């Protein structure tokens, strides 16, 4: 298994973008204001094990909204289907996953805006469902049970026919705060 490192500037760019989004939301929260109608939704991102994940919450009409996660693997890498079993097929692969805990609950099924294709792998009898190389956008309808803390849990693994696979990520937490009908992501962990 190989793991390629992202370009050295990529994490810095992602961190700056996440910090800017967080600071603008924090300033709104400090003033007791809600994001203006048509304002950019709360957003954060991180890069781990060869995949950049950008999270946002859109269509927020308290207590309902949509968590969107865009998974962008390194060039030439693909992600596994959201329908893949938790332990893969014959131990190969891990599903692309988004779940919520705390005051947020899933209000529907996770969907992906990418066509699933199957690949055959040496030593694996069954076909393995994957998305084409490149970014995959997933959406999860959510509902808040009130104000408080919530966590978005993310899972994924990326592979390349040429370069092998990265280490899978399971239940990677991203913290959210729900208050007064609005949402804000916590500062990304380093």
**Percentage of the chain lying above the pLDDT 90 cut:** 59
The model's confidence at residue 35, banded by pLDDT at 50, 70 and 90, is very low
The answer to whether 89 and 126 have CB atoms below 8 angstroms apart is yes
Q: How far apart are CA 15 and CA 137, in angstroms?
A: 20
Closest CA to 176 of 21, 16, 8: 21
- pTM here is 0.77
């Amino acid at each position: 298994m190989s793991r390629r490192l992202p370009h050295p500037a990529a994490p810095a760019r992602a961190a700056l973008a996440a910090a800017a989004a967080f600071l603008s939301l924090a300033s709104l929260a400090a003033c007791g204001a809600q994001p203006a109608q048509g304002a950019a939704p709360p957003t954060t991102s991180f890069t781990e094990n060869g995949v950049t994940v950008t999270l946002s919450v859109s269509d927020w009409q308290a207590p309902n909204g949509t968590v969107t996660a865009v998974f962008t693997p390194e060039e030439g890498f693909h992600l596994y289907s959201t329908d893949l079993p938790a332990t893969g097929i014959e131990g190969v692969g891990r599903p692309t996953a988004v779940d919520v805990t705390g005051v947020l609950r899933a209000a529907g099924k996770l969907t992906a805006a990418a066509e699933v294709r199957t690949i055959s792998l040496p030593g694996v009898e069954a076909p393995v469902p994957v998305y084409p190389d490149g970014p995959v956008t997933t959406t999860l309808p959510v509902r808040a049970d009130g104000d408080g803390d919530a966590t978005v849990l993310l899972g994924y693994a990326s592979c390349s026919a040429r370069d092998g696979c990265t280490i899978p990520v399971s239940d990677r937490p991203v913290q959210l705060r729900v208050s007064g009908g609005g949402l804000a992501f916590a500062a990304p962990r380093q």
